[in-house]
Amino acid sequence: MSAKPQCVKLNDGHFIPALGFGTYKPEEGPAFGSQQPYGGLQPSIIPILLIHHGLLRALLARDAQIYMVPENKPLEAIHLALEAGFRHIDTAYVYQTENHVGQAIRSKIAAGLVKREDIFVTTKLWCTFHRPEMVRSNLELSLKNLQLDYVDLYIMHYPVQMKPGEDLFPVDEHGKALLDTVDICATWEAMEKCKDAGLVKSIGVSNFNSRQLEKILSKPGLKYKPVCNQVECHLYLNQSKLLNYCKSKDIVLVAYCALGSQRPKRWVDPSSPVLLNDPVLCDMAKKHKRSPAQIALRYHLQRGIVVLAQSYKENEIKENIQVFEFELPLEDMKILDSLDRNLRYAPAPLMERATQNTPFLMNFNVETCVIPSTHSVNVSMDSDVCDTSDADSTNVISPHLSCLTTLLQPELGPLV
């Protein structure tokens, strides 16, 4: 089979490279740098630490010590990815890596390695910019950071509306998240206008479940369907029901955390399984003379999923691009299917908030929604009280972080 990277056709006629390079900047361990307390962080650093794990800014008051990725690491990694052959780069306004993406792309264009049209750039609309009149301004900020005239894909990062302002994680004096009352369909209409203006080629969503997608798809006067839904998806959370739903609507599923979590100790239980150490996966990798990461990525590609891979190591970046050099037989795909355990590494808290007329359940993209804790949680929010317990659910969050649920009202139940 061809070793050349492949593309997937989107429902608007454009094509997205099937393998992308992620640029989310996580906290890291001692190998990368120095410790700083949360209270000493600059505001621009805060989103990098918290958002892609679905956590709101509840931990900022804690005098906790963390490790940071050095500022130059994302830029170095993006340079390496482009040199290795990656042509799909995924970023977001809240990651604070758009400037690195733009700098790397301009450098490679100047060097004659690529042309702008060779690169597929994704960025994302942040939750404090959901008001229709603010959508384009957030996009223009991203374009300025990226030093680009357009992006290939613009995604609604979360189906959550937060109060506009300079603070990307607005909270009140009690530490409760300040949400906004914006119709998600009105936000989508503003994104459609950005596409009409030529600022984006395609528009999509992230962390949506089927009901949230239906809200957009059934909107009167819908001009453009979402081309994709970017969600956590890996061997331990294969999203089969959501994948089938998206395929039925001609919406491409894009997988983040495809190789498992980067395992930040602040909220991922150290005892949670390391996906790339799974014995079944490792045995299969030996069988095919490939790395576990290559097998995990190839699995998603053969399911028709666009997959994002991320690493700061040159050898791993080069290795990940080689997933088009082999194919897994059907019997191996079935074995990998059986590894699913509905385990979420990047917890997306369940948020229920009500507009004046219609409650909107922010239950994200899980197929069976569980609070990731093995102990009961009793949460009181306003006049509503929700008791949640699930002794059989998989604990992937450190128990001491259950305090975060004071910001949220969890719900249990099937979502697809």
Give yes or no for residue 200 having a pLDDT over 90. Answer: yes
CA atoms within 13 A on the CB side of 284: 26
Model pLDDT for residues 279-310, shown as the tens digit of each residue: 999 999 999 999 999 999 999 999 999 999 99
pLDDT of residue 350: 33
User: What predicted TM-score, i.e. pTM, was given to this entire model?
Assistant: 0.78
Across the range 57-62, mean pLDDT stands at 30
Q: Are 67 and 13 in contact (CB under 8 A)?
A: no
Across the range 376-383, mean pLDDT stands at 27
Model pLDDT for residues 105-160, shown as the tens digit of each residue: 999 999 999 999 999 999 999 999 999 999 999 999 999 999 999 999 999 999 99
Residue 132 to residue 158: CA distance in whole angstroms: 15
The residue to which tokens 């990815």 are assigned: 81
How would residue 26 be classed by pLDDT, with cut points 50, 70 and 90? low
Calculate what percentage of the chain has a pLDDT beyond 70.
Answer: 69
Mean pLDDT, rounded, of the chain:
77
Give yes or no for residue 415 having a pLDDT over 80. Answer: no
Residue 185 to residue 120: CA distance in whole angstroms: 26
List the catalytic residue out of 38, 93, 95, 236.
95
Residue 95 among the catalytic residues? yes
pLDDT of residue 291: 97
Residue 409: count of CB within 10 angstroms of its CB: 21
Residue 62 to residue 117: CA distance in whole angstroms: 45
Domains and CATH numbers, the chain: 7-337 (3.20.20.100), 351-414 (no CATH)
pLDDT of residue 27: 52
pLDDT of residue 25: 79
Residue 110 to residue 89: CA distance in whole angstroms: 18
